[in-house]
A and B are shown apart, each in its own frame.
Chain A
Amino acid sequence: MKSRRLFAITCLVPAVLVVTAFFVIPAVMLLFIGAGKGPDGEAGLWRYLAVLTTERYRSAMVSTVILSLLVTAVTLVIGGISGVFLARNRFAGRGILVACLTFPLAFPGVVVGFMVIMLAGRLGLIASISVALGGDRLVFAYSMAGLFLGYLYFSIPRVLLTVMGVAEKLDGRLIEAARSLGAGPWAVQRDIVLPALAPAFVAAGSICFATSMGAFGTAFTLATRIDVLPMVIYQEFTESANIAMAAALSVMLGLVAWLILALARLNGGSSVAAAG
């Protein structure tokens, strides 16, 4: 008995060490810094509320959450449909297509940002086409729309792979049974396929949302005009040297992301990766 308990404790040591060193200690420090003295010489918990009271922080938080929710929703639609299709159909070039679709997993946010500029920047593809068609130069890379595009691009593979994994395991007999009972293609998707994929959607959507909340590289590449919360934190940290404010905003960003993931977990079963 005793040696068995010792064994179990020994097995936990690496995890406990890593979590303590790289999560617990920094998080606690962040909490203290956020409440500590700032450049204005004032200390206090008011900074945590600044995200609600100060217009600039509040609008950054709101737009970050809305952007992340929007990216998650659109990614789920695109990734979900493609994932189910790719899982259920075999055709020439399928392997190459899947490889292309999952390619963005390997790109850092900076590269994704650069690709958005090439597509929708001042000298980008869309701008050239819109000019060639006699219209105005269409440029939206350096705005929320550009950011949305970039986030969408690197979120799709995560959803696609999760949905494909679950869809491939879906029992084909269930669909045959539903069809024999008179269900057409839409009814089969609504009543059989979607409910079976719901846990995968919640899991993939959560990862997608959390990534979008914290993504920085793409926003940084696309210019500083975009006020998403990670950019604001960076600016507080570097330009204003307001480390206390940056820490407080970081804590609030983590808290909001965690809260929304916890809600998803409550409503969608147990397979959500991020929220405990």
Chain B
Amino acid sequence: MTAGVSIELKGIAKTYAGGVQALKPTDLAVARGETLVFLGPSGCGKTTCLRLIAGLEMPDPNGSLSFDGEDVTRTEIEDRNVGMVFQSYALFPNMSVAENIGYGLKVRKIAPAERDRRVREMLALCGIEALSERAIDQLSGGQRQRVALARAVAIRPRVLLLDEPLTALDAALRERLRGELDQLLRSLGITSIYVTHDQAEAMALGDRIVVMRQGAIAQIGAPRDIYFRPASRFVAEFVGAANVLSGEVRDGSLHLEGGKLALAGTGVGHDRSLMVMLRPESIRLIAPDQAVWRGRISAVSFLGDRQRVTVTGAAAQPVTVEPGNDLELAIGDLVGLDPAPGSLVVIPKETDSA
């Protein structure tokens, strides 16, 4: 339908009255049609960033923001042509579902016939034709979310901005709507900015993820990059379960309490001590006599599709492993740990401040 625009932030920063710097000077480019996810804990500046792009906040002087090369830094939100979906949905309680969806078209003075046609198109797109005449307080959470999305998309915005749109829903519904949302965003091909603190949501929806921390970008990358090649301990631990291990480097191996890990292929030079990261699912449990790295099982939780095993004695901190559900394991068993090839990620020291 609409391809949307490319977005460019140059030195965009936000300092609130009172001197709190919610966003440090930030450069960022979003490609046309891309879905970019801002991920981070609360207070990291992700929502501020979204509101700056929306035009709900004005950035500090010197920064600039452009849509397809057109400078919109000082353009008011009502003239930016952006679609917004709020966490609370912010549907107008004095209007029906159809009136909510058609509101943006009405203030644009689009003729009633054309307006009706586009509202019906949106209702169909979001699968809510039957709700057209309902009042907002007669809708469930999932239905409200769909109406909010339809209302934002109906104006054919240059950018779609979504602020934690699924957070208010329960887990099962959230997962289903996440799938629908992903399909919709891809079929529209619209440039989308999505804010969330849920890493699974970010992975599932984002073409790229911007991990934010304390008002600055910690890392930008495709979901796989962020997950498998985190740039810092903070990113490693925020985007999934991570074993962060520290040890001495001798003879090309990292020496830990329960043995050693080969560092071949990690490109490590002459550091004497090192910090590495291993994802729980990338460690295989093997017989202890075949292993060069061992530990003892101190806890086992059977999760159905997999198990979560805590191994002590392998490193300074307990190591978490997530093997398949077919292994019979007992507390006290001595096990060998075998990281999958290439799964060992060296975490740069200078960015480690967590």
Contact = CB atoms under 8 A, between A and B. Distances in A.
Given A180-B152, A182-B108, A192 B92 contact: yes
B58 to A, nearest CB: 13
A177 B84 contact: yes
Given A171-B88, A176-B86, A180-B152, A187 B107 contact: yes
Interface string B310-353: 00000000000000000000000000000000000000000000
A177 B86 CA distance: 8
Contacts of A171: 88, 90
Interface in B42-77: 54, 56, 76-77
A172 to B, nearest CB: 9
A174 B107 contact: no
A245 B149 CA distance: 65
Nearest to A180: B84
A182 B107 contact: yes
B155 A181 contact: yes
Contact of B90 (A174, A187, A195): A174
A173 B90 contact: yes
Interface of A: 171, 173-174, 176-184, 187, 191-192, 195-196
Nearest to A174: B90
A179 B77 contact: yes
Interface string B256-275: 00000000000000000000
A183 B107 contact: yes
11 contacts: A174-B92, A177-B86, A177-B151, A181-B103, A181-B152, A182-B108, A182-B155, A192-B94, A195-B92, A196-B93, A196-B94
A187 B107 CA distance: 8
A181 B78 CA distance: 7
Contacts of A195: 92, 94
Interface residues of B, number: 25
A19 to B, nearest CB: 35
B25 interface: no
B193 interface: no
A183 B107 CA distance: 6
Of residues B91, B104, B151, which shows the largest number of chain A Cβ atoms within 10 Å of its Cβ?
A: B104
A166 to B, nearest CB: 13
Interface string B93-137: 110000000011001100000000000000000000000000000
A182 B86 CA distance: 16
Nearest to A195: B94
B82 interface: yes
B219 interface: no
B83 interface: yes
B81 interface: yes
A191 B155 contact: no
B107 A181 contact: yes
Contacts of B104: 181-182
B86 A178 contact: no
B107 A180 contact: no
A183 B92 CA distance: 13
Contacts of B107: 178, 181-184, 187, 191
Contacts of A176: 56, 77, 84, 86, 90
